[in-house]
Structure formats: structure tokens, C-alpha cells
Structure 1
Amino acid sequence: MELTGDSFIYLDLNEHSMRDKTTAQPMNVSAVNRRTLLKGVGAGAAMGLAGCMSGGESQGTNDGGGDSGGEESTQTPAGELNRGGHLRLSAIASADTLNGWQLDSKHERLIIQSLNSYLTWMKPDLTVGPDLATDWEANEDATQWTFYLREDATWHHNGDRVVAEDIAATANAIYAEDSTAAGKGSLGPLESAEVVDDTTVRFNLSASDGLIPRRWARTVAPIYPADVIENRRDEMATTDFGSGPFELESFSAGDETVLTPYDDYYLTDEDGNQLPYLDKVTITQLPDTNTQVTSFRNEDVDILWNASRSQWDRIKSASGVNSKRIDASGFTVIQMRSDKPPFDDNRVRTAFKLAVNRSALLNGAASGLGTVAYDNPIGPAYPGHSDVPERTQDLDEAARLLEEAGYGESGDPIELDFYAPSSPSKVLDTTVIAAEHFNQLPNVTINVQQQSYDNWISNTWLNAQFYTSWYTQRPTTDTLLLQVWHSEGSWNEAHWSDEEFDQAADAARSAQTEEERNEHLATCQQILHERGPSVISFYIDALTAQQEYVNGFDPYPTQKWVRSQQVSLGDDAPTQ
């Protein structure tokens, strides 16, 4: 389930006023193939060329989380740089469109982020650096953001420069009244985007938002040409209209996509080497995880960027493989609808929280690949996490609370249907294991109801009294708090309302310093632990693996990015 949406955090930008901009003038690259030029010069000359292409010293606004403007650089892979080679990636889900505003699978994300550019770029540590924008700043109350654009980015399909008109057209189209774009509403409170000049675009907001640069680095916000948006939008599903590191050689929906490097891509590494390093990237759809892992072990796939938990032992035991576990803080969540009995009583909600064996849930639903959680949706891998008291299984105390609330052995029985989709497996497994724990409570009967995903999302999600859902963490820490647990949140799954929580969440949204924001976030997390409507038993690690001959692959905890442009292959790669 891919759920989108961000909330708003405010920052102390009082010391930052609108300032005069001086933009370095890049060399004219339209008349020369940059990749060909770099192949013909030495390393010293390449570094000099990179300096000419740079957008100058970083002048960006700091949001307290490391997000700043300035020229992007990527780390050169260890050892001698190898150019060329064929990188082979795979995905299970189908890729049915090249329209980056209508993403529906991780496979499609892989393709879009390789073909397209973004206003800013999310880094593996979830801070933000420059992409099409090299610098940005906000007005005093962060209701207006101005982005300053590079001058050397060009479109694959016609070689024209990417200009402010394209950024404004993209933003306005995503937020149009009739828009069905996945990013609509999740990229900040945008009222309009306007062109200042060819290299300057301004976002006008309906409310303060200090994290606009971070929001526009999301995978749902690729930039498209203004003329395509206006006149050729129906072609976006099948045609490459990007300005990113790779261009399209072939695309077969539901099968295979082949990408080749865009010769005039604008980014270089920190040593001035032209990106990308590779000659080709192939993304192949495979039928299942078993086939995917077998292909990886046979060196027919080079990177598992979203490795299967069920196959993890096979993956990490393969020879010539580097595997990695990353704290990621995704989770499954059991939602107890709190506007109806019995979960309108916090004593019942707490009893159900005390009934579960969290280690057993982590081991059974996530193969032990994660960390035990105590009903707090913000995991330790993310900024703003606050420790809450541990909560271990205590059936005696749970029974006492039920009895006190009028249920339990001498009170009214509790019999509930407990819903879960058949996939992903971690959600169904969470439901089945937790039901066994709940059924140990006196006079409680929980019946698991397995549904197809389509049935679950259409009928159960946001409606049922008792069900399991799941989320991946968002780059902005407060997103899920406001979307899922705020009384006015659009995904308030448990129909929960708590005035103190709402006030703390709203205060976090309007906080102007990191310290103040984290204070309010800590209050939110404590309230959810004490009287929230949700059982969150574990955080799930992100799993990745790569062949030893792969260099420069830097995995993300969100598992939503693969920066193929910084990957190179060693001499021993079978496709080098």
C-alpha cells in the first residue's frame, strides 16, 4: 500500500531575508556532447570543467535537519573509477507507466527517478541537496519559497534547457483542481507557482511550511516540460520527457525497461567525473521473490535494493555478496476504532496493548529483522524520535483492566472480527499472531478475516472496527502523526480524537526551531503510547544486497531511491 501525504513544519527563518542573487555563468554545453568531451580529457581537465559547471558556493537555507542548497556531488566509488558496464536491476511489481505523477509501484519509481530530474534531491540520510535547484530561500514566515535553478539541465527529447516555466507548470499541474497526481496535497500547502525569470521560480503557500525543499524531493514530484504538460500530456505514460541521468532506450509495460546514459546530464562527481558511469541499466520484472533471489545468486541481478525478508538467509549466505540491514522504522499497526465500544475505553485499548508479545510478533511477522516498538509510530532511525516506556506482555494486568472496564471474566464478552489483507505477508502475519495473543484474554474472542487487498482498501481501511494496516516512514517526521492520528487527519484510521494530542501536533507543525518541534513531537509520542488507539509492536529494517563488484550503491532507509548514476561496476563484473 503506497500512502502519500505530508504535513507542515515551520522553521525559524527570521534571520533569512530575501537577498540578491548572483548566479555563476556555466559554459555553453549545448554545442558539445559533455560525455564525449570528458572521455577525451584528463582528470585535471575534467575537474576544471566541473568547476565551470558548478552553480557556485552553497547559499541555501538550513532547516535544522541538514537540508541546504549548494552544488550536489556524489562520492566516487572506492578504488579506480570504472566507466561502462551494464547494471541489471529487478522488481516484482509491474511497471505500467512512465508518467511520474501516476506512480503505483516501486518498479515504476526505479524508472522515473532514472529518467527524470527533481527540484531537489533526497539524500540517503534523508536530508536534501540540490538537483535542478541549486539554491533556495524562504520569506520570514515561510509562506513563500524562491528557488534558483541551474542553467545546464536539458530535456532528453529536444535538448532545450529546463527553465523556471517548466517548474511552475509542473507544480501548478500537480495541484490543479482536477489533478489526480499522486503528489497532490503532499508537497506542501501550495497556492500557486510563478516564474520570476528563466532561472528563478517562486512557490506561494497558503500556510507556513519550512520543509518545502524536502517535500519537493519526493519521488512523486518529477519535473516535466511546460509544453508537454500543456500539449502532450497523454504521451507522458509512454514517452521519455525527462532531464535525468538516463534516457529511455526501450520500455515494455510489465516486462523490461532499458536505459542508457544521457550524454548531457548536468551532474558530476566530486572529482569532476561525468555522471552516470554506466553504459546501460536494465530493469526487469520477475515473477516472485524466489526467482529474484535465484537470479541474484546466479549473478544475473546486480543489486537487491528492496530485499525479501523471507529470503534473507539465502541472500546473505551467497558468496561474493555484500548485504546490509538498515534501521528504517516502517511498521505494521493494529488499529482499534475508538469511537465505538469496546475501544472507546482506554482501559480496553491498554489491555490489548498489554496482551501482545512484541518479540514474538517481530520474529513471526518480520523474521526478527527489526526492533521491538512500544506503540510509537516514530522509530529510532528518524529525527524527532522520543523514547517511551517499554511495554511487555502482561496478561494479568490486561485482565484486570478489562474487568475494571466492565468486560473480562465477569463482564460483557468481547467478540470482534479482525481484518487483514492477504498481502503484504507481514500484515497478515501480524494479524494472525496478535489474534492468538488477544484470544488469551478472558471472555475475548477474536476472529481473523483475511481479505484481498482490493477488498481491504475499498471496504475495511478507514471503516472497520479492528484491523491491521502498515506504513513506511516519511522523510518529514511529523507526517504520519498528523495524517493518521490527528482528529482531522485524512487517514484517521481509528477515528480517534484527543485534544491534547491535536494541540501538540499542531504546535509541532508551527514550531520555528528543531528543539521546539521535537519537544511537541515527544508529547505526541507519549500520548500515543499512553492512550492512543494503536498497537505498534516492531519497526522493520530495510534490507539490501549487492554483488561485491558493485561500487557506489548507497541504500536509503525508505527504500524508495536507487541512484544508479553514481553506481559503477568493477573489472570482475560479468557485464563490465
Structure 2
Amino acid sequence: MSTKDIRRRRYLQLVGSGSVVGLAGCSGGSDPGGTSGDSGATGGEGGSATSDTEGEGGSGAGSMGGHLRVGQNRTVSTISPIMMGSKFTERWAVKLFYSTLTRLDHQLQLYGDLATDWSANESADVWTFTIRDDATFHHNGETVTASDVAATFNTVYDSEVGSPGSGTMGDIGTVEAKDETTVEFQLDGANSDFPKLVAKGWGAVVPEEIATDSSRRQELGSKEFGSGPFELESFEAGNQVTGVAYDDYYGTDGEGTSRPYVDRVTARTIPEGSSLVNALKNGDIDIIWEPPVDQWGPLQEASGVTTGRVPAGNIVNFIMDVSVEPWSDERVREAVKLAIDRQAIIEGVLSGLGEEAQDAPLSPSYEYFAEVEGRPPERDLEKARQLLADAGYPDGFDLEDDFDITFFSAADPPERLRSAVLIKDQLSEIGITFEIEQISYDRYINDVWTKAPCYMGMYGMRISGANFMKLLLHSEGGWNGESHFSNEEFDEAITTAVQSTSSEETSQAMATAQEVVAKQGPYAIPYYDDQIGAMREYVQRYNVSPLSYLFYADEIALGSGAPTR
């Protein structure tokens, strides 16, 4: 049986067992099926299925009201859409209060939020968005205009501002308001996925007078000035954030019912996994956002709880900077890939909730995933040792003693460090040894990421696979400092994939790009994980998404059994 057949069978087994689940209902904004300009992107085998019942109440008054309480074991340190980092908790928290031009649903289908229409020129390097005229800012009631959109993106991409979002939404050159409701993006290169990219949290629209004022931008860390479904009630950094429904929010579902469905939402941090599960079992919270994988068993057994599981694409990657020895030798990199016991890591780190990866960042849940022949490789210690000997290391090497390289791993999320520990033990079997310097997440972001020559990386699934790979691995990509990988065949293929408006051409280019990275690239990637979720049975209209930060609280409803109704 082929790898593709195995992956397909695995997905169908998840569906058949009820593990791939959500609670059905309309998930979109004013047009959840997309607007003209919809790219038609799909989640492939990674999309979530839904249950047959919507739950008591359906749409309308029976599903309205209540306080939605979301538990998570990670923190929200800021609610600034301009200066937030890469924490997924912050990305979805920001969207409680702010509007973006577009959104993606749990099946990765694109639909409009602020934008009612979008289109590109023939070469896809100029994109024009028309925005709605009934969106208003919470703090002053003024209408959101194209000038606010332009100011937001120009600020995020201003190198002097230093926003972590710069470069993540494509190669944006200039953004200009053509009139009150029309905004034009001039890109430095064609990008057929651009309408998806602006759905990111860094695309959350901030008033022009705040976005362009360096002093007032500082307020965004603890105050909100958005036009989204909720107004900020309170924020305790690292603990919890609460919003109340904005009376003049423009959003409706496909049946014309106003959103948000709930009156209030709280995101609360509960760091310890079993405490998080107990809070759900006891009815203290309604949903666990991204439950710890080691709590999957207890959650499935919990009374009154519904669990959801979908194939996704979060990865950990053992990073080998090809600009330094020993990682500059492709044989050494291949030896590392051959020495890793991927299934042991999946069982030990993910409790079996994942599948073996082929050392390229894209999982089968991405639209243009391509299988690479001979990948993932079978574990072969003998061949790995021979490759090391051929490269001049017959006895292996110690990273610190022989190359003055320190291996780093942040402890957050815990899957990262657990993976690093197992890989360390597995590589020792072929003579590659090192100690792990455990660091905080903040130090990882500030001092290690894209700077150190060897460390344990971790990336969540992204909106656009082509743009993600370009950012990481193109020789001029914004995050190329992580590995300094440079390959002309890859650069040409990934550039074509990003720019092409032909799905056939994109598919061929993506297949080439993934093969180059899997066989020659700077990463050993042991797994693609599954995304899981858990909720009380009275929660309605919630679907677990393969992209965990595509969590829109305004689209979730509480049935009459909810204690806060």
C-alpha cells in the first residue's frame, strides 16, 4: 500500500471513529462561502468534518447569549496586533477585538470579513480590496475606512517599527487608499495567495491615527481600538482576557442572524494540563483551546465532553545551519534524518496523535502537499554511520567539543523539548552527541531563533504553504537566517508556486520544492501532528481547525444547557 493510501485510510478512520468532529453550523461572516475573489483554497485531507446535529436551538434566539469561557495552557502577553509575536494564543485573542480583511473557516475556505470583494491584476502583483461601509471602531464609533487599512499595513511593514508581522503577509511594497472603501496593495512580486495572507492577526485593522503615532501604538499592548465582534472588558497579561459583545458589530451568519452569538468571552490561562481538563469536566470552562496531547485519553473518557481531532500540520524541526560545519555537508544532514525514529517520537511526544513527516515543512493537510519518493526515510543506523564516515566523521562528533556549537531548545510548548530529548538520544546511536541548553521562550525568540546554528524549532501550520516555504527557505526569504539554505532549483520552484495563478503549474512547482527540501534541506522533521480540541456538549457551531489560531469566538454559540446562559 502506498504512503498516500495509508494517509487517506488514516483520515477516513478518524472520520469513521468520530475523532474528526465539530459541531455544525454557519461559520462565516456576511458571506461564509467566500466572495468574488475567493481563491477556492481547501484543506484537503486536513479539513475538519462536522457532526450531524447542530445541538438544541439551531440558529436564532435559541442559540444566543451566555458567557463563553475558553481555557488554554499558554499565555496571552499582549493584545497588540502590530507588535504581538508568534504565539497562537495572541493571534486568536487579537481577533476578538479587531477586524481583518478576510477570514478562513475550519476547512481553510476563504471568506470576507471587512472586505466585501477583492481582485488582482493579470500578473497578481496588484490587489484591490473593497471594504464594507458599516464597520465602526469601538472607542469612538467612527467608520473604518480604507485609510485605516492602508495605515495598518504600512506600519506593520515599516522596518523602523519592527513588527514581527513584517514580511509574513507577502512582499508588500506600498498600500494606498484609493477612496473611502477601496484599498490597493502594490506587491514587490506576484502572489496568488495574498487574500489568504491578510487574514493573519497582523492584518487586524487599527485606526490610522493610532497606527501612525509611535506613542499611541504603545497603548495597543493593553488597550484595544478595534472594530471586531467584542470590546475589551479586562486584560491581565499572562492570566486572562475578557471581551463583551459589541452592539454595533456588522457580522451576520448565512441566515442573517447577528453575531457574536454570545454576550461575553473569556480566555483564561490554566498552565497545568490535568487542571485544565478538570476545569472542563467541572463546567468551569466551556472549551479547551489546543488541549495538551497527554490529556487526550482523559478528555475522551470525560462525561459531558465532546472531543475533536483533525490531521493538521504543526511541526518541530531539528535545524541544521548549512553555512557552518558539520551541517554544510549534505551527507551529515541525511545521516541525521536516517537516524531519527519518527514513530517513537510520535508515540512518546504526541501520544500517537500525528504521522511521520518527510523532512519538508508541509503536511498532507496543505493544499499543495506532494509526496516525495522514499520519504519519510526508513530508520537506517548502518547507512547513517556510513554517511558520517564518508563525510570524515567515522566516530561521529560532539557538537560542542568539535564545533563549539550549543544546541538550544525552549521548554514551551512542551512538545518541543520532549522531541529534542528523544532526538538527542537517537542521534547518540550514530555517534552524534550534544547537551541541550534549555531556555525560555522569550530568550528563544530574541537570541536563538534565526541566529543560532543548531536548535529545536517549532512551527504551527500556516495559511499558505508556498509562502511559508518561501519565507523559511528561499535564499532571500525573511526567515532564511535560520538555516542559510540556498538552492537555485528550490528558489525557482517556490517563486513560481507563489506567483502562479495556474493550479497545475503551482502543483508542479510545489512538488519540486518539497522534494528538494526533503532530500537536501536543513531540517529533520519527525512528525506532522493532529490538531485536537475539547468542549462541553452544549457548545454549538465550533469546529476544530487544522490551523489552531483560526478560532473565532463570535462564531461559537452556547445551547440552553450552558451554565452561563
What is the TM-score with the length of structure 2 in the denominator? 0.84
SS of the residue aligned with 2:261?
coil
Q: Percent identity?
A: 35
Is 1:86 matched up with 2:86? no
Match of 2:19 in 1: none
SS of the residue aligned with 1:329?
coil
Is 1:405 matched up with 2:396? no
Match of 1:170 in 2: 152
Displacement, 1:334? Answer: 1.2
Distance 1:350 1:195, change over 3 A: closer
Distance 1:530 1:245, change over 3 A: same
Is 1:452 matched up with 2:444? no
Question: Aligned partners of 2:103 and 2:260: how far apart in 1?
Answer: 16
SS of the residue aligned with 1:101?
coil
- CA deviation map 1:353-379 (0-9, x unaligned): 111211111111222210111212210
SS of the residue aligned with 2:111?
strand
Q: Is the 8 A contact 1:268 1:274 kept in 2?
A: yes
Question: Aligned partners of 2:190 and 2:364: how far apart in 1?
Answer: 27
Q: Which has the larger radius of gyration?
A: 1
Equivalent of 1:569, from 534, 537, 558? 558
Greater mean alpha carbon deviation, residues 87-96 or residues 264-273:
87-96
Displacement, 1:345? Answer: 2.6
Is 1:190 matched up with 2:172? yes
Is 1:141 matched up with 2:123? yes
Distance 1:478 1:226, change over 3 A: same
Q: Is the 8 A contact 2:80 2:221 kept in 1?
A: yes
Match of 2:256 in 1: 272
Question: Aligned partners of 1:55 and 1:393: how far apart in 2?
Answer: 48
Displacement, 1:513? Answer: 0.9
Distance 1:329 1:396, change over 3 A: same
Partner amino acid, structure 2, of 1:98: I
Match of 1:480 in 2: 468
Question: Aligned partners of 2:465 and 2:509: how far apart in 1?
Answer: 12
Q: Which has the higher helix share?
A: 2
- Structural RMSD (CA): 2.6
Q: Is the 8 A contact 1:219 1:560 kept in 2?
A: no
Displacement, 1:559? Answer: 0.7
Partner amino acid, structure 1, of 2:361: P
Distance 1:512 1:257, change over 3 A: closer
Equivalent of 1:256, from 236, 240, 263? 240
Greater mean alpha carbon deviation, residues 383-392 or residues 96-105:
96-105
Displacement, 1:574? Answer: 1.4
Question: Aligned partners of 1:158 and 1:404: how far apart in 2?
Answer: 68
Is 1:383 matched up with 2:367? yes
Q: Is the 8 A contact 1:305 1:555 kept in 2?
A: no
Displacement, 1:55? Answer: 8.6
- CA deviation map 1:81-122 (0-9, x unaligned): 322111111233333433221224444334321111111112
Equivalent of 2:454, from 421, 444, 466? 466
Displacement, 1:224? Answer: 1.6
- CA deviation map 1:290-315 (0-9, x unaligned): 32222112110100121111222222
Partner amino acid, structure 2, of 1:263: D
Match of 2:424 in 1: 435
Equivalent of 2:523, from 515, 534, 552? 534
- CA deviation map 1:310-361 (0-9, x unaligned): 2222222211111111111111111223333333332222222111211111
Partner amino acid, structure 2, of 1:248: L
Is 1:225 matched up with 2:207? yes
Question: Aligned partners of 2:32 and 2:71: how far apart in 1?
Answer: 37
Give unmatched runs, 5+ long, in structure 2.
1-28, 44-50, 401-406
Displacement, 1:228? Answer: 3.4
Distance 1:401 1:56, change over 3 A: closer
Displacement, 1:54? Answer: 6.7
- CA deviation map 1:481-520 (0-9, x unaligned): 2222223333332333222222222232332311111111
Distance 1:364 1:520, change over 3 A: same
Q: Is the 8 A contact 1:55 1:150 kept in 2?
A: no
SS of the residue aligned with 1:556?
coil
Is 1:111 matched up with 2:87? no
Distance 1:247 1:513, change over 3 A: same
Q: Is the 8 A contact 1:552 1:567 kept in 2?
A: yes
Match of 2:511 in 1: 522
Q: Is the 8 A contact 2:175 2:185 kept in 1?
A: yes
Is 1:65 matched up with 2:41? yes
SS of the residue aligned with 1:470?
strand
Partner amino acid, structure 2, of 1:448: E
Distance 1:393 1:57, change over 3 A: closer
Distance 1:526 1:555, change over 3 A: same
Question: Aligned partners of 1:313 and 1:292: how far apart in 2?
Answer: 14
SS of the residue aligned with 1:236?
helix
Greater mean alpha carbon deviation, residues 56-65 or residues 341-350:
56-65
Question: Aligned partners of 1:466 and 1:429: how far apart in 2?
Answer: 16
Distance 1:229 1:250, change over 3 A: same
Is 1:497 matched up with 2:478? no
Partner amino acid, structure 1, of 2:456: T
SS of the residue aligned with 2:461?
coil
Question: Aligned partners of 2:93 and 2:409: how far apart in 1?
Answer: 31
Distance 1:507 1:547, change over 3 A: same
Question: Aligned partners of 1:425 and 1:127: how far apart in 2?
Answer: 30
SS of the residue aligned with 2:464?
coil
Q: Is the 8 A contact 2:408 2:454 kept in 1?
A: yes
SS of the residue aligned with 1:220?
helix
Q: Is the 8 A contact 1:472 1:558 kept in 2?
A: yes
Question: Aligned partners of 1:534 and 1:97: how far apart in 2?
Answer: 31
Is 1:307 matched up with 2:291? yes
Q: Pairwise mapping of residues 276-425 of structure 1 onto structure 2 (< 5 A)?
A: 276-388=260-372, 389-390=374-375, 391-408=377-394, 413-417=396-400, 418-425=407-414
Is 1:240 matched up with 2:221? no
Displacement, 1:479? Answer: 2.7
Distance 1:77 1:102, change over 3 A: farther
Q: Is the 8 A contact 2:30 2:113 kept in 1?
A: no
Match of 2:25 in 1: none
SS of the residue aligned with 2:315?
strand
